[in-house]
Amino acid sequence: MQRTWKDIFKDYNTQQPIFKNKDALSDRYVPETVCHRDEQMKHVAKIIAPAIKGDKPSNVFVYGNTGTGKSLILVYITNEMARNTDKARVLYVNCKMKRVSDTEYRLLAELARQLGRDLPATGLPTVEVYKTFIEALEAEGKTVILILDEIDSLVKKTGDGILYNLTRLDQDLSKSKISLIGISNDTSFADGLDPRVKSSLSEEEIIFPPYNAAQLQDILLQRALLAFNDGVLGEGVIAKCAALAAQEHGDARKALALLRIAGELAERENLLGITTADVDSAEDKLDLDRVVEVVKAQPKQSQAVLAAAIRLSESGQKNIQTGDVFSVYEDVCKSSGIKMLTQRRISDLIAELDMLGIINSRVISKGRYGRTREIRILLGKNVLDKIKASLKDSYLLG
């Protein structure tokens, strides 16, 4: 009998040959043990220990590449600390979250909410919100450790005035104290801050270095034991995920994602085990997703330039130059109703797309006619198809 889509669901429910618990590989999962971060954990512990007695720890600025365990470890240790005392309390905000930290108002309202005060989502004067937050802090009568994760994104959205205010809140508190922990994966972030904010935020600094391949293997192994059924992992799979992630920036999140996607691909193909070939496919898929996301995040004008370059390249034209892209770009603007920029600006946008690795452009000299760029599209067929679909959705490609 012909199998139907219902059988696919049924199979999925009854036999799960690959995963025992896929959640163990997800971003949300909090591992029970953390390896290879002893030094950083001791450093954090030393800094925040005074909070156990209700004293005020120094403010800390924590930085390091993406996926180096910053969020995991700071949340883990501060919670452990708070469990051992009734004199301290931890507040955590991920500043990348929309609607939580888009404005100073929203962030303060969120913090007040965590302390049990309800504030309307908008409408009050900011001073009023500060007042409520300070009252709520005072009512705690504790040392409050405030973790601002992805703090760079807060400053990008609201400026650093809020950090100035937060680092000076202590002046308004008598029964409570507040210390800040700022976390960022943008290493140059602190340099852009008002010097006063910078020096009070980084009374202490902790750096999280990238993991090497061996460390990533340990992290993966620990999770793989929970996530996969016995005997599913083929030889070299973990080593390959670790090596690929170490090559880039020692990113544990990427290593875990590779392993998870490799498992999903094997599962979808109804295979009984995962091989290193699945890891290769997983990497392709991750790269593809990344490039497509980058393109989607570009301003409309850049997307129009890219659409023009793609149109030219698909028409088979060789030696595509800035001027060629510009004339097709004019068409794209006309047909999609967007404002036209000058050729000079288009040349800049081409350079930006080049930096993002989406196209390749080589500056060539045309003697006394000046310089131009020769443009090639670098994308593989799968990525290109997805990008074209996205450009079509925004009416930039016909």
Ligand X SMILES: Nc1ncnc2c1ncn2[C@@H]1O[C@H](COP(=O)(O)OP(=O)(O)OP(=O)(O)O)[C@@H](O)[C@H]1O
101 binds ligand X (CB under 6 A): no
Query: How is residue 70 written in tokens?
Result: 């910053």
Q: Does 219 bind ligand X (CB under 6 A)?
A: yes
| Closest CB 4 distance from ligand X, rounded Å | 37
For residues 174-193, one letter each, b for 16 or more C-beta atoms within 10 angstroms of the residue's C-beta and e for the rest, the string is: eebbbbbbbbbbbeebbeeb
Please pick, from the candidates 40, 71, 158, 302, the single residue that binds Mg ion as defined by CB under 5 A. Answer: 71
Contact 360, 375 (CB under 8 A): yes
**34 near ligand X, rule: CB under 6 A:** yes
* Piece in contact with ligand X (CB under 6 A), picked from 68-76, 99-107, 351-359, 377-385: 68-76
Size of residue set near Mg ion by CB under 5 A = 1
Q: Which of 22, 36, 156, 296 binds ligand X (CB under 6 A)?
A: 36
Tokens of 207: 């750096």
Among 51, 72, 166, 295, contact with ligand X (rule: CB under 6 A): 72
Q: How far is the CB of 31 from ligand X (least distance, A)?
A: 5
Decide if residue 256 touches ligand X (CB under 6 A). Answer: yes
Interface with ligand X (CB under 6 A), residue from 57, 69, 182, 250: 69
- Contact region for Mg ion (CB under 5 A) — 69-77, 100-108, 187-195, 389-397? 69-77
Residue type, 350: I
Q: Which stretch binds ligand X (CB under 6 A): 3-11, 66-74, 173-181, 290-298?
A: 66-74
- Residue 303 makes CB contacts below 8 A (sequence gap 6+) with 295, 391, 394, 396
Q: Which of 58, 66, 281, 321 touches ligand X (CB under 6 A)?
A: 66
Q: Compute the least distance from the CB of residue 133 to Mg ion, in Å.
A: 24
User: Nearest distance from residue 205's CB to Mg ion, in Å?
Assistant: 17
Q: Which of 53, 92, 101 is nearest to 181 (CA)?
A: 92
Task: Give the binding range for ligand X (CB under 6 A) out of 11-19, 43-51, 67-75, 154-162.
Answer: 67-75
Q: Does 35 bind ligand X (CB under 6 A)?
A: yes
Site stretch for ligand X (CB under 6 A), options 11-19, 61-69, 84-92, 312-320:
61-69
Strands 88-94 and 143-149: parallel
Q: Which residue is nearest to ligand X (CB)?
A: 69
Q: Which residue is nearest to Mg ion (CB)?
A: 71
Among residues 67, 182, 234, 250, the one that binds ligand X under rule CB under 6 A: 67
Could you tell me if 151 and 184 are in contact, meaning their C-beta atoms sit under 8 angstroms apart? yes
How many chain residues bind ligand X (CB under 6 A)?
19
Shortest distance in whole angstroms from residue 347 CB to ligand X: 33
Interaction partner, residue 31 (ligand X, Mg ion, none; CB < 5-8 Å by kind): ligand X
- Which of 22, 87, 253, 386 forms a contact with ligand X (CB under 6 A)? 253
| Amino acid symbol at 7 | D
Find the part of the chain contacting ligand X (CB under 6 A) among 226-234, 250-258, 321-329, 354-362. 250-258
Q: How far is the CB of 155 from Mg ion (least distance, A)?
A: 16
User: What is the binding site for Mg ion (CB under 5 A)?
Assistant: 71
Give the footprint of ligand X on this chain (CB under 6 A): 27, 31, 34-37, 64, 66-72, 185, 219, 252-253, 256
